[in-house]
Amino acid sequence: MKTSPFRPLRLIRLTITNLWLTLSLATSAGFQTWAAALQYQPAPPDNPLKGFVRSGSRTFNDFPHSLEFSYVPLRALMTGPTNIDLTRVEKSLDAAASRGNQAIFRVYLDFPGSGLPTGIPQFLLDGGLATHCYPNQHDMCPDYEDPRLRTALTNFIAALGERYDGDPRVGFIEAGLLGSWGEWRTFSPAWRWFASDAVQRGVLDAYEAAFQRTKVLVRFPDELNAGRPFGYHDDWFARGTLTSFMEKLERAGPMAINKWRTEPIGGRIHPLLQGCVWDESSCAPEGQDFESCVQASHASWLMDSAVFRQDFPEGNRERALAAARSLGYEFHVPAAELEVGADAVKVRVSVRNLGVAPFYYDWPAELGIMDSQDNLAGTWKTDWKLTSIMPGEPAAVWEAMLRPEVGQGIYTFLLRVVNPLPGGKPLRFANVEQDQDKDGWLTLGSLGVGQ
């Protein structure tokens, strides 16, 4: 078998005669192989479904991001046991999508300290739902054991899943609903107005039944959720990650510890640390440095309002950008090969995950060929699975057989992962060759095709 260099388009233009071949000759025997070593460069910090998450409605700077977070009171969505209006969620999702971003949201009943009206639906209050008031707060905590509330929550989750399971505008959903701020705990440990295990199981059962495709995250690892298909969100990231959060994972057992392999880990940098954690001398507590927390938790995304402020310092910005890149997945293609036969081309691509977490959805991977006029001359869907490419493991090898029907010319072979959100940010590989010849596509190499 003859082998020769397989170079990117910018080089092949100098050596076209060395790479000319004929795909259509019936008498051609076997395959000829062209191989390329592709170059690494860091992937962008706003790759889809990872990095730092924008939240709120304030004026933002241009810090790169692909996710937006919002809280929504159940009161605004539910006016009766089965009367559910998701308009407010729709507006939030559409706003994020208009910016090319996927959304994360959490629905709450109880939001202490906000000064906002309660999140408890009015029909439940009118029907006699008992509530508790926090000392020195105007907010109300509902009686979670009330069967009317339990039925309302089950009905709401079912409607939420029917509408949003698999919706490309939604990146992740936080389970919410229970506890202060929807965090499955009370405002103070001394106030034990929380849901029993039976109520928690009912909510978890409802989410598990309602969501088969879109990933749901719960606040705390424990034995109630360890064996269920839910991720976790650590709201005290870099303050309690390596103590409280990791200790809860260990107590919940091996299924919880290994949850990151199939379910996402997200969260929020603790509010007291937001901004100053990016100072040259970080304010993170001793033993809770950001990098160690990321490595231990395998976090994919985090909220940090400070990085989006207009006055965010430039030096801190550079450190935050590096931190955003360190979250989640990072796919790098170190090598690609073309085996060219009489009427077909076999494409072989090696893909490594250099990040700390997998990609949690099997977005479609496509191959394409582009002519010398930068027009796509053909695209092919593959059955390649992004979710199978795990960090810390050898490169996966993807293969596909193409039968391009093209005329004479120079053609560039391309690879991309399709974001199902129309207008969504493309998933970009950690390669110099990413976007080299066509935006959103990784260039694998070019060769000549003749008759």
Share of the chain above pLDDT 70, in %: 88
Alpha-carbon span 284 to 275, nearest angstrom? 10
Model confidence band, residue 338 (pLDDT cutoffs 50, 70, 90): confident
Delimit the domains of the chain by residue range: 3-43+330-450, 51-326
pLDDT at 19 over 50: no
Instruction: Report the pLDDT averaged over residues 81-90.
Output: 96
pLDDT digits (tens, 9 = 90+) for 269-319: 999 999 899 999 999 999 999 999 999 999 999 999 999 998 899 999 999
Token pair, residue 152, equals: 């309302």
pLDDT digits (tens, 9 = 90+) for 91-136: 999 999 999 999 999 999 988 877 677 899 999 999 999 988 766 5
Provide CB contacts within 8 A for 345, sequence distance 6+.
23, 338, 339, 401, 402, 403, 404, 413
Provide CB contacts within 8 A for 250, sequence distance 6+.
257
Amino acid at 141: C
- Does residue 397 or residue 12 have the better pLDDT? 397
Q: What is the pLDDT of residue 18?
A: 27
pLDDT at 137 over 80: no
- Does residue 352 or residue 30 have the better pLDDT? 352
Model confidence band, residue 214 (pLDDT cutoffs 50, 70, 90): very high
Mean pLDDT of the chain: 88
Q: What is the 3-state secondary structure (H, E, C) of 48-67?
A: CCCEEEEECCCCCCCCCCCE
pLDDT at 14 over 60: no
Model confidence band, residue 444 (pLDDT cutoffs 50, 70, 90): very high
Alpha-carbon span 3 to 90, nearest angstrom? 55
Q: What is the pLDDT of residue 188?
A: 64
What fold, for 51-326? TIM Barrel (3.20.20)
pTM: 0.89
Tell me the longest C-alpha to C-alpha distance in the chain.
Answer: 87
SS3 of the chain: helix, strand, coil, percent, to 5: 25, 30, 50
Token pair, residue 448, equals: 């000549």
What fold, for 3-43+330-450? Immunoglobulin-like (2.60.40)
Model confidence band, residue 24 (pLDDT cutoffs 50, 70, 90): very low
The angle that helices 147-164 and 197-210 make with each other, rounded to 10 degrees, is 20
